Amino acid sequence: MTSTKVAEAKAALERGEFDAAFILSAEAQAELPEDSEARELYAVIHLAKAIRLSDRAREARRLDLLHREIDYDVEFQDSPEVTRAYDEAAAAIDDVLRVAPDHWKARMLKAALVFRRDRESGRPQALEILHALAEADPTNKQIPFTIRKIERPCVRCGDTGFCPHCKGRGQRRVLRMERKCEKCYGRGICPACGVL
């Protein structure tokens, strides 16, 4: 059985009306919680939003470092805006996992987010997710690679996760001019451990 809501959500997506598709997919899923098509559509659309929010949280932290002009290794603490951005991203991922607990990409994203947010508490949680994924799919080479990259504290960045060349700012001051940091392509993320 295909619900009309699923068809409506797909049509909205094709028209580029993401917000409408988002709501319709949630309604379709609520209407037919056991329907695999409705579940998959919900997961895909909600994951797209979760990815956007995760990227936004990371970028919010970089902009925060840039504007506050603080050194991350001195007194770094997330501002309320950054904390909120991470909370929203985490909630969006949990929304996907509530409906599709085995969703591979959503679980990868969850591992990435907890690790990025706070290494001390996030590392064991991220590794637990990654080890479970590796066990579920032993042929996937990306997972053991990622595990090796993050299982030990990173010496390149002092395990802050920030690009050591620009101190997480994504920009460097050269001859009094702000230039995009070429080591991290302006993202402010450590090139060695920022894989996740």
Count of Cβ atoms closer than 10 Å to residue 11 Cβ: 13
Dist. CA 22–CA 126, nearest whole Å: 27
Of 157, 173, 174, 178, the one binding Zn ion by CB under 5 A: 157
> Per rule CB under 5 A, is residue 149 in the interface with Zn ion?
no
> Per rule CB under 5 A, is residue 193 in the interface with Zn ion?
yes
Those residues whose C-beta lies under 8 Å from the C-beta of residue 156, and which sit 6 or more positions away, are 164, 190, 191, 192, 193
> Per rule CB under 5 A, is residue 154 in the interface with Zn ion?
yes
Count of Cβ atoms closer than 10 Å to residue 105 Cβ: 15
> Per rule CB under 5 A, is residue 126 in the interface with Zn ion?
no
Dist. CA 159–CA 153, nearest whole Å: 5
> Per rule CB under 5 A, is residue 20 in the interface with Zn ion?
no
> Per rule CB under 5 A, is residue 129 in the interface with Zn ion?
no
- Least distance from C-beta 154 to Zn ion, angstroms? 3
Q: Is 133 helix (H, G, I), strand (E, B) or coil?
A: helix
Q: Which stretch binds Zn ion (CB under 5 A): 89-97, 113-121, 131-139, 176-184?
A: 176-184
Of 65, 93, 166, 196, the one binding Zn ion by CB under 5 A: 166
8 Å CB contact between 117 and 86: yes
Count of Cβ atoms closer than 10 Å to residue 174 Cβ: 9
> Per rule CB under 5 A, is residue 65 in the interface with Zn ion?
no
- Least distance from C-beta 81 to Zn ion, angstroms? 22
Of 26, 130, 190, 196, the one binding Zn ion by CB under 5 A: 190
> Per rule CB under 5 A, is residue 189 in the interface with Zn ion?
no
> Per rule CB under 5 A, is residue 150 in the interface with Zn ion?
no
179, two tokens: 């230039």
Residue type, 142: Q
- Least distance from C-beta 112 to Zn ion, angstroms? 14
- Least distance from C-beta 159 to Zn ion, angstroms? 6
- For 142-164, b/e burial (b = at least 16 CB within 10 A) is ebeebbeebeeebeebebbbbbb
- Least distance from C-beta 165 to Zn ion, angstroms? 5
What residues make contact with Zn ion under the rule CB under 5 A?
154, 156-157, 163, 165-166, 181, 183-184, 190, 192-193
